[in-house]
Amino acid sequence: MKKGDELNAGAVEYVRGMPVVKIFNAPIVGFRSLYENIIGYRDMVYAYSMSCRISYVSFQWLLNIFIVLPIFLAAFKVAGGADPRLWSIKVLFFTLFMGIFFSNMMKIMYVFMYIYQANSAVDNLENLFTEMEEKSIDFGSLKEMKNHCIEFKNVDFSYDKNTKILSDFSLKLEENKVYALVGASGSGKSTIGKLISGLYPVDKGQILIGGEKIKNYDKNFLMDNIGI
């Protein structure tokens, strides 16, 4: 499940980065992480499959023995004078029964797998909502902007404890001007836009719009005035 999540995240990042590759003629080697995720997922699936081979093959052998055994039993009984038609019906019935038994056993095993996947998905969603609540901003009630200048003052930000995206970052954007943020994939361009929108609280420093801290504004007012 973890490897699958990493693979999905790598694929999304790859697709999102396609415009960067096309516009700036960037080398595709910049998306090596997707290739590594694919290889990692392949190795994990192969290792998991090989770890199940003894139990799965044993199950197949056991099932096939139960299917073949009645044939020898029927031959023995018929040789002893039993009704061949009756034992032919018994063998046919048992063979069909074991086929249905095998099919339903496989369904039961898949049900357990789907239950595990569903529980994992629900846990991920609950953790996501919990994380969003922990990182939410307590907005104010201000519904007016003196101007539309945007300023970052010594801002630190990280999505998690291990990876810092912005460190002591300062920037001032004057109103009525157009700016371009240019940088490598993962350098923090999108993060800056998200922080201006008030989607995440900063670890340190301040973000001001119109001379006021973002958290002083009413949330709906801020969302109505910022597009990303």
Q: What is the per-residue pLDDT across 66-114, written as a single tens digit (0 to 9) for each?
A: 878 888 888 888 888 889 889 899 888 888 888 888 888 889 989 998 9
Query: pLDDT-based confidence at 213, cuts 50/70/90?
Result: very high
pLDDT in tens, 123-150: 989 998 888 787 778 889 999 999 999 9
Does the pLDDT of residue 32 top 70, yes or no? yes
Sign of CA dihedral 180, 200, 161, 131: negative
Q: What is the predicted pLDDT for the residue at 135?
A: 77
Distance CA 203, CA 169 (A): 11
Domain ranges of the chain: 2-134, 150-225
Query: pLDDT-based confidence at 42, cuts 50/70/90?
Result: very high
Sign of CA dihedral 122, 124, 128, 130: positive
Whole-prediction pTM: 0.53
**CATH tag, 150-225:** 3.40.50.300
Phi, psi at 146, each rounded to 5° = -65, -40
